[in-house]
Amino acid sequence: MLDIKLVRQQVEEVAKALAKKGYTFDIAQFQALDARRKQADMDSQQLLAERKQASKQIGELVKSGVSVDDAKAQVNETLAKIEEQLKQLTQEAKDANDALDTLLLAVPNMPLADVPAGDSEDDNIEVSRWGQPRQFDFEIKDHVDLGEALGGLDFEVASKITGSRFAVMHGPLARLHRALIQLMLNTHTGVHGYQEVYVPYIVNADSLQGTGQLPKFEEDLFKLQGDSGYYLIPTAEVPVTNLMRDRIVDASEFGDGLRFTCHTPCFRSEAGSYGRDTRGMIRQHQFEKVELVQFVRPEDSDAALESLTGHAEAILKMLELPYRKVILCGGDLGFSAQKTYDLEVWLPAQNTYREISSCSNFGDYQARRMMARWRNPETGKPELLHTLNGSGLAVGRTLVAILENYQQADGSVTVPEVLRPYMGGITEIAASQLG
């Protein structure tokens, strides 16, 4: 959530920054609600002063010869009117504050100054590339044809079990999927300094509001039936970031920042992507991800985004998968993010790069919604943390990239060297292994 003080003081600048995201901030509505709240507060203060003055009148009336009972009766009648007015004004101030909160909860984060202008993913700017796409001397197959021919990928059975946009994996292909998770977690914990955590796969509405999925994006979530108010997680970002909700982290515990990594399934209804990527594993309702989450001091968040993105890139380099890094333009930037790098892996069958990780800096936007803070030892006062996260990586899409980039003319798939220790020494996946 944006800082309401900043919005009040620099409302035109805020509206201009939000326009970079394609969002029209209703200045008049904000100022009207804020004025209503301010007036209710001012009127309340005036009535409190009148109540204090009325209470003093009892003694003055008694001094002038009025009996104590008569003095109380006169003043109590005035106090009763004031109390009734105060009750109304208190409710009016609460209603105005609630309306302001509702308004601000629906306002996205402001992009940083170095975020390029643009309306869609077509306007994203490439920052760098790594690796050269492989040149094939045979007809390329996509991951669906490869996986089904190998007998390790079954969308028909998944559709029978559940429905569209699900997959079943068998044998070495399922093991390859698991090997990717182990490689990612081992690298992020053993090399990059993240603490592995295990979290619930079901969260409440407060958690989703804290990270920005609610109230705006409820249609993209799977909500459990009943009165529990629970949702399946769309990403580990939600439960892991909420580890700091309503907390004040001591500087001694905080150190140079807090880093967490977590593997979870993710569940998304994909309500806004109807008809897109319906073939295969690119866009599914259930998929696996290894998430990276950081909590840092405000002055460290720019550098933290670069390092976190580098940690996701390291996995792609270990797997020797060609990729490119792009900075998202304002129009393609996520609701809560103030800056995002996308890592896009090369998919030969599509002859293009596709997103495999989004790494974002949220500034204090999520922390303000969650009241996630650290105590500054220099001032002794709590200050909002800055939060960051990114996929390190999306496991299913990484599997897709391996199948397509490591495919052979006979339909087998070479296992990347770095994964072989996790695969029991298997160097390739062939149909005979899955027959």
Check whether residue 102 and residue 137 sit in a common domain. Answer: no
Binding-site positions for L-serine read 235-237, 268, 291, 389, 391
User: Which domain, by its residues, includes 60?
Assistant: 26-106
- Backbone torsions φ then ψ of 421, nearest 5 degrees: -60, -30
Same domain, 313 and 358: yes
Q: Is 112 part of a structural domain of the chain? A: no
> How would you classify the pairing of strands 258-267 and 195-196?
parallel
Same domain, 142 and 83: no
- Cβ neighbors of 19 (< 8 A, separation 6 or more) are 25
The gap from C-alpha 338 to its chain's centroid, in whole angstroms, comes to 11
Write down the mean pLDDT value for the chain. 93
Indicate whether 37 and 172 sit together in one domain.
Answer: no
Structure tokens at 13: 């600048």
Q: Are residues 336 and 405 in the same domain?
A: yes
Q: What is the pLDDT of residues 248-269, one digit of tens each?
A: 999 888 887 899 999 999 999 9
CB-count exposure of residue 340 (10 Å: 0-12, 13-18, 19+): buried
Residue 5 lies in a domain: no
Active-site annotation, residues: 268, 283, 355, 358, 397
Which residues are CB-contacts of 75 (< 8 A; sequence separation ≥ 6)?
A: 54, 55, 57, 58, 61
Residues 149 and 70 in one domain: no
- For residue range 154-182, what is the model confidence (pLDDT) as tens digits? 999 999 999 999 999 999 999 999 999 99
> Same domain, yes or no, for 101 and 134?
no
Give the confidence band of 209 by pLDDT, cuts at 50, 70, 90: very high
| Domain end position, chosen among 78, 106, 134 | 106
Compute the radius of gyration of the chain from its Cα atoms.
28
Q: Is residue 13 part of a domain?
A: no
Residue range 28-40, pLDDT digits in tens: 999 999 999 899 8
Q: Are residues 173 and 203 in the same domain?
A: yes
Binding site, annotated residues for ATP: 268-270, 355-358
Query: Tell me, what CATH number does 226's domain have?
Result: 3.30.930.10
User: Residue 67: which pLDDT band, with cuts at 50, 70 and 90?
Assistant: confident
Indicate whether 95 and 170 sit together in one domain: no
Residues 290 and 177 in one domain: yes
Report which DSSP code applies to 133. P
The model carries a pTM of 0.92
Q: What is the CATH number of the domain that holds 89?
A: 1.10.287
| 402 and 281 housed in the same domain | yes
Query: From CA 355, how far away is CA 344, in angstroms rounded?
Result: 4
Same domain for 383 and 357, yes or no, is yes
